[in-house]
Structure 1
Amino acid sequence: MQTAQRVAIVTGGSGGIGRATAARLAADGMAVVVHYAHHRAPAEQVVQAITEAGGTAVADGGDIADEAAMTALFDRAQQRFGGLDVLVHTAGIMPLAPVEQLDLDVFDRVQRTNVRGTMVVDQLAARRLRSGGAIVNFSTSITRLQTPGYAAYAASKGAVEALTLILARELAGRDVTVNAVAPGPTATPLFFEGKPQQLIDQIAGANPFGRLGTPEDIAELVAFLAGPGRWINGQVLYANGGMA
């Protein structure tokens, strides 16, 4: 059992931003639990890459919105590593449709995963993180850009922002920071899904840097919030290259 090493859980750790974040936190010396929802193999690939680079990581899975599954995951992480210090919650879904055409079952699924899922893991982290810990949730720059088709997703992330800001204040005196990162368009499988190349090029061209963000761009900010950025608390940080 390890107690000196800081320990992080990265939900959605086999996805684009989650994968880059898990690798970055491991490079910073943390033991990382790479969470996956359904498919273990991609998470194991992340673990293998981290361990081959000299880091410490394990894969663990479960429905992010199921409190029993997530309680068991947190239990296993604590038993294996002796404590918990950081939660990075990247897991989420992003079905797109105009409000007029949106299937309400899809809307409910987005809210369950993105809002309830955040509540479940934040609640567990609030109860378990050691002094000096950090919770990093994920919102989106879409809440500022107001892009048509993203209503269900943006609504869920507005709720995540509210939860983040209130939890930061509820944890006063605990020495645990709570922030949200709100990426702009980022080159991940989730972003590319269903988009023609012309639209991708148009979105990239709207950024002052003339490109999409990369998962590593976002992981850099997460690592700061999870590590030395102790005076940043109760904030939503927009990581989009100046797009919004």
Structure 2
Amino acid sequence: MSELYMVRHGQASFGEKNYDRLSPLGVIQAEIIANHWVRIGRKIDVVYVGSMKRQTGTADALMSACRDSRMSVPEIIPDESFDEYDSASVFEAQIPGMVEEDPSISEKLPDIFSNKRVFQLLFQDAMNRWVSGDYNVPGVVTWNGFKDRVLSGACRIMQAQGAKKTLAVFTSGGPISVVVQESLGLTDKSAMALSWQIMNASITRFKYNTKGLALAGFNDIMHLEMENDPRLLTYR
């Protein structure tokens, strides 16, 4: 069977004007993944990476580690199929309906970027509304549209690379949860709930062949835990 590793990017710059870049801690997390794979001799035939800077920055760490250790540098292929959904647009589109249903929410909005707990509660409610499909907003991607894009990309790369290959995809929590959902037959709501548990710089592993796709490992952070530094274990 072939293997597919899906790597969530290192910590991004939450709360800053430009979220889509690795934080200083995210850079360290990306380097730890890369050095771990080099140390254990993990051979990757092809790397696919979404177009977001936090994704490409995480993948670049692997390329650098391979070059520095004189290991074979895998082919890297950009693929926007593995971009995260536009969470800001989805969130903004859902907020008016949420405020209409619960006017007290408007009092919490000024604190969403300074209070992580407030942000997470409101963000989670907004994403659950979005996933339900009952509150779609014209011009904003639907959950089903996002899923179709990710799964089409995953199927395409697995078919293109053929048998006995090891692929890596550097992506985000949303696309990873979609592929896990497909492999386990989860509901949409369960897939979204699962996405909250996917940690920065974690590795989720699948095995696949022409008969299907199987989950072989989820949200692995052993490479981070081995550093014995709890600051490396982040969700956002």
TM-score above 0.5: no
Q: Which has the larger radius of gyration?
A: 2
TM range (shorter): 0.3 to 0.5
Q: TM-score scaled by structure 1?
A: 0.38
Q: TM-score scaled by structure 2?
A: 0.39
